[in-house]
Amino acid sequence: MVRERVALTPNAKRERRNSILRKTLGQTAIWLVLLVMYVPILVLIVFSFDKATNIGNFADFHFTFQLYKDLFNDEEIMVALGNTILLAVISAAISTVLGTCGAIGAFYSKKRTRALIENVTQIPVVNAEIVMALSLTVMFVFVGTYIFGGANVFGFWTLLAGHIVLALPFVYLSVKPKLQQMDPALYEAAMDLGCTQNQALWKAVMPEILPGVASGFLLSITLSLDDFIVTAFTRGAGLLSGDKTIETLSTLVQAKIKKGPIPPAMRALTTLIFVVVLLIVIGITVYRNVNAKKKKVRKGRAA
């Protein structure tokens, strides 16, 4: 069969050209954004295999794993890394529990109470982090002065409290959409079928909101890992630093910048962090795709 070519009207040709132009501009913008985002990371990864102090000179590039060896032999960086990971995991776990409980409680509360909780929770999200850090500092100074008789209360617990306050609203906002997508009668239906309140919560509600809880936990870890302002204002002695002031990766880098160039071993560390995060993202994506395929198969069999 011979396909007949349909003559396009001038308006149709113009619309076609505009459509092609929009697609081209859109794809160009996307690629530019990706280049701006990932080219610096790629450069950092490449120069993590070069032990030169300053990066950017490809002519003197010498491939080596020396920075990775120096990284694991650098006690200062290892202590800061350990502090950062411990603080991130502990604060994320507590924030996830509190944020999830708060979201569930607000969801099953009265309309006015729920609206009040949601408005109060959104304030820390849009508020400047420096305001939060200063307010926490003033509160801890007040507590140390008037409750503990002038004692210095700054330490691990004040730092942990600051990170929990920082991450808690984001957990709430991650769990809330999953609760709104869930059938509100699901909890009562589980109770009618013989479940206790705890059983209905864990067997009916939690499986429905688990993706939001996981997202809130990962987001809390991310916020804690790269936080500097709250950490700088609320830290004290403790964790792996012992009697010294707690150093995290962000505060360590800031202290090193004051004295001179960033230690080359930090390039190896950031590369490892990027690889770990990339593997986690790939794993989550594969897991979701596999679950989506299983659901499609189950629906096909049920039909």
Contacts of 246 (CB under 8 A, 6+ apart): 83, 87, 155, 156, 159, 231, 235, 236, 237, 238, 239
Mean pLDDT across the stretch 183-189? 79
pLDDT tens digit string along 158-183?
A: 999 999 999 999 999 999 888 888 87
Confidence of residue 231 (pLDDT cuts 50, 70, 90): very high
237 strand-pairing partners: 155, 245
CB atoms within 10 A of CB 153: 16
Considering the chain, what is the average pLDDT of its residues?
85
Q: What is the pLDDT of residue 19?
A: 83
Q: Is 124 left (phi over 0), alpha (psi -120 to 50) or beta?
A: alpha
Kindly state the percentage of the chain with pLDDT values over 90. Answer: 21
CB 82 within 8 A of CB 240: yes
Q: What is the pLDDT of residue 1?
A: 45
Amino acid at residue number 124? P
Mean pLDDT across the stretch 215-219? 90
For residue 187 the two structure tokens come to 């909890």
Mean pLDDT across the stretch 230-248? 88
Alpha helix positions (H), the chain? 10-46, 66-73, 75-107, 111-126, 129-146, 156-181, 186-192, 197-200, 206-225, 229-234, 249-259, 265-302
Nearest to 68 by CA among 261, 271, 254: 271
Mean pLDDT across the stretch 210-219? 89
For residue 161 the two structure tokens come to 């409290």
Positive or negative: CA dihedral 152, 155, 157, 163: positive
| Domains contained in the chain, CATH given | 11-60 (no CATH), 69-268 (1.10.3720.10)
155 strand-pairing partners: 237
For residue 98 the two structure tokens come to 């509190």
Question: pTM of this prediction?
Answer: 0.81
Mean pLDDT across the stretch 194-207? 83
Residue 150: pLDDT over 60: yes
Helix (H, G, I), strand (E, B) or coil at 237: strand
Residue 247: pLDDT over 80: yes
pLDDT tens digit string along 251-277?
A: 988 888 888 777 888 888 889 988 888
Mean pLDDT across the stretch 129-156? 89
Mean pLDDT across the stretch 18-25? 86
